[in-house]
Amino acid sequence: MTIVARISLDSNFPSQFNQDVEREIVKKIKSKAPKIKISITDQIKKHVREALVSTQEYQSIIHGRLRAELGIPNSSSRIMSVIDTWIDNIVVKVAIGKSPFLSINIGMIQADYSDVLALPEAEYTYKSRRSEGTIPWLRWLLLEGDKRIITQYEFSKNPIGSRTGMGIMISKERGAWQVPSEFSGTSVNNFATRALGNIESTIDKVVENTIKGSFK
């Protein structure tokens, strides 16, 4: 006996099938999206903090040449306030659609650095026998590059009268001072952008692994 079976599909079946599958995929993604966002945000904040505190600039601000030459009082708490602000301002946005089904947008440091430059910790006031004023040390470090900032002065390691006990600016007719070249930065190339550039592949892997892990 021979049995011949024929299945006839509605002409709209492929389209309807695809729509049903897409609907289920989107439904699944929507249910997972909040946890994906939280997980990615937490991991990125951890990696960014680690990257920033590992920079030579951070170490130098705490107890090295930058602390001495920039004359930063309470340098540890000041730079940590800057880093905390950057970390707090990290934003992860999750968008759900059809093409692609899921997209992740990560916002970190503001292009004009206004968030950290507006901090009271980003500058300090000074008063000496000759003058008084404000030192915008963070702006100098992030934006001024190798530009000469102070003229007719140069840095001396003589600790007498120093705010940090590590050195002081002394008057010199042909002297000049700028951020040391190994630490200097511009808006597109400073210690923060360099730190983030070094962990770009790590961030990509965090996003990939988190999404894959959510759908196992």
pLDDT tens-digit map of 2-21: 444 455 556 665 666 666 66
* Per-residue model confidence (pLDDT) at position 153: 62
Bridge partners (DSSP) listed for residue 39: none
* Per-residue model confidence (pLDDT) at position 134: 92
Q: Which residue has the higher pLDDT, 33 or 194?
A: 194
| Total Cβ atoms within 10 A of residue 203 | 19
* Per-residue model confidence (pLDDT) at position 4: 47
Convert the pLDDT of each residue in 104-130 to its tens digit.
Answer: 899 988 989 999 999 999 999 977 777
- For residue 150, give the H/E element and its range: strand 150-156
φ and ψ of 168, to 5 deg: -155, 155
Contact 182, 59 (CB under 8 A): no
Convert the pLDDT of each residue in 139-191 to its tens digit.
Answer: 999 999 999 988 766 666 666 666 666 656 666 677 788 899 999 999 999 99
φ and ψ of 58, to 5 deg: -60, -50
pTM attached to this predicted model:
0.81
* Helical residues (DSSP H) of the chain, grouped into ranges: 13-53, 56-63, 65-70, 75-88, 114-117, 137-143, 191-198, 200-214
Convert the pLDDT of each residue in 72-103 to its tens digit.
Answer: 999 999 999 999 999 999 999 988 877 677 88
* Per-residue model confidence (pLDDT) at position 1: 47
- Full DSSP string of 71-118: T-TTHHHHHHHHHHHHHHT-EEEEEE-SSSSEEEEEE-S-TT-HHHHT
Amino acid symbol at 44: I
- Quickly state the pLDDT bin for 43 (edges 50, 70, 90): very high
